[in-house]
Structure formats: structure tokens, C-alpha cells
Amino acid sequence: MLPSVEAWFATHTWQQPSWTVDELVALKRGRTVSVVLPALNEEETVGDVVAVVRPLLGTLVDELVVMDSGSTDRTVEVAAEAGARVVLREDVVPWLEPLPGKGEVLWRSLAATSGDLVVFLDSDLVDPETAFVTALLGPLLLDSDVHLVKGFYRRPLRLESSGGGRVTELVARPLLNTVRPELSGVVQPLGGEYAATRSFLESVPFAAGYGVEIGLLLDVHRMHGLAALAQVNLGVRKHRNRSLLQLGVMSSQIMGTALARCGVAAESGPLTQFVQVGGEWLPDSTDVVVADRPPMMHVIEKG
């Protein structure tokens, strides 16, 4: 790591966050907190994620929202039964047709919530913990200069016992080290567990798809510098693993967003991959959408 990155890592990384709920409530000082869970067909896990956040409602957390991205299973019912307020993506900013992708529902969640601080948790977490929320909020409540807090963790995957996911280690980390080396100290640049100030989130564009996390990371660094970024250790994160073909599409969106943030034009288009059918290798193309939603502060003004 670069010397400046080492200094940032030492002062903005919490390896063992231990803030209590009472300590953080005292630090709120009138600020409000929204927790948002983006969901698409997560009926098996979304209820458990809601359940670990529910005990914080009324104290540290002021609202808990599941943003549904067009689920066709019982995600909506399970989330509501678990105690979350469920918002359908088409019911927020209804004058705009929804784009496919995770970033789209995160962007729309800004219009569906009101917290000064926003915590995002993926709804496919297995064995989630209430401490995820307290850990992510700590740096934001302690330091007014911090605008984005990333969670990092160990991700068990067969023989992989540490480090990031496959897309992180093979795509995102080498890319960031090349185009924005100051961000080389971020352990999990693509992690779906993070928190941010509303003022920052509403001031930047959101990539509609899987590029949303790397886009926010690059934007907070560009707008506010490295000191506006912090990271906390969340222990172990287990979630549903995806196939290599799915990860290829994800990687294309992430690369497109990152390159666009660095001034390299990136356009939507087909990604050609290959599958084996009856002993033959055949091309299989998937449309990859690389698109940004504008800063929500401007959209709300127009609406």
C-alpha cells in the first residue's frame, strides 16, 4: 500500500468494532437512521435479516424498509410478516420506468426513506447479526467528515477461507489498484453491507446494476477524499454463491461503471460467454446494461 493509504488504513479501519447501542444512540444527536434491504426473490433469507434489525427500531434505527425489485416468490409477504415496511420499486419515483438491477432499487430507496444516515444490508445474508448495523453506523456517528462506511468480512466459499469474493479479487481489486491506487486499502470494495450520509447519497449518480458499490466508492473519494471513507470488520458473511456465468455479467457492469467514473466511455451491450451443449462449445450472449440514475436530489426537485 502507498504510505498515505497505510495512514488511512490505520486511522479509518476498525478491526474489532465494539460500540454499544446505547453509546450510538447518545451520538445520534437528533439524526435519524434508515436501514434498507434490497430484495429480489429472497424469501428464504429476508425474514432473518429483518429480524436482526427489528430490535433496534425505536432506538438506534428509525425506519426499516425492504425495497422489492420485482420478486415473484413470497419475499414481500415474508418481509412484511417479519416486521419491515415493504416498498415496491415501481411505487417510488413512479414517473420513471424501473431499470433492472440492484442499484436501481437502492437509488429509489432514497425517495422512500428519510433518515439522515442510511444503512444498506443485502437480504440474502445467511446468519446475519444485529452488530452489522451498529458496526457500520459507528464511524458515521463519531466523525462528521466520514460519508461512507464499508463493511468487510471473511467470505467462506468451498476452499476459500478468507479475502473477498471472486469478482472482488479477480476484477475490482486489480482495477482499483490500477486506476485509483489510493483506494487499494479497501478490503471489500464490492460488499453489500455499508452505510452513508444521505447528503452524499443524494448528491451522486447511482449505477443501476451491480456497479453501484464501486461507483459510490469512487464518487466519495472523488468528491470528499480518502478521509471521508471508513471500514469496519463485520466478521463472517455468508450468502448465496453465483455461477461463473452470472459473475461474468456482474463483472462487466462493475468494470463499465468504474471505467466511466474514471473518464473512459462505457456503453451497454451484449457480453458473449460460452456454454457446453452436447460436447460442443456454443456462444451465449447476455445484454449488459451500464446505466446511471441521476443524483436523487435533482430527481426529487423535479418530481
Domains parsed from the chain with CATH numbers? 3-241 (3.90.550.10)
Q: How far apart are CA 249 and CA 279, in angstroms?
A: 24
Predicted confidence (pLDDT) per residue in 47-101, tens digit: 999 999 999 999 999 999 999 999 999 999 999 999 999 999 999 999 999 998 9
Compute how many other C-beta atoms are within 10 angstroms of the C-beta atom of residue 283. 9
Q: Has residue 161 got a pLDDT over 70?
A: no
Give the mean pLDDT of 206-227: 97
Q: What is the pLDDT of residue 267?
A: 78
Q: Has residue 162 got a pLDDT over 70?
A: no
Q: What is the pLDDT of residue 288?
A: 81
Between 1 and 162, whose confidence is greater?
A: 1
Q: Has residue 240 got a pLDDT over 70?
A: no
Q: Has residue 243 got a pLDDT over 90?
A: no
Predicted confidence (pLDDT) per residue in 87-144, tens digit: 999 999 999 999 989 999 999 999 999 999 999 999 999 999 999 999 999 999 999 9
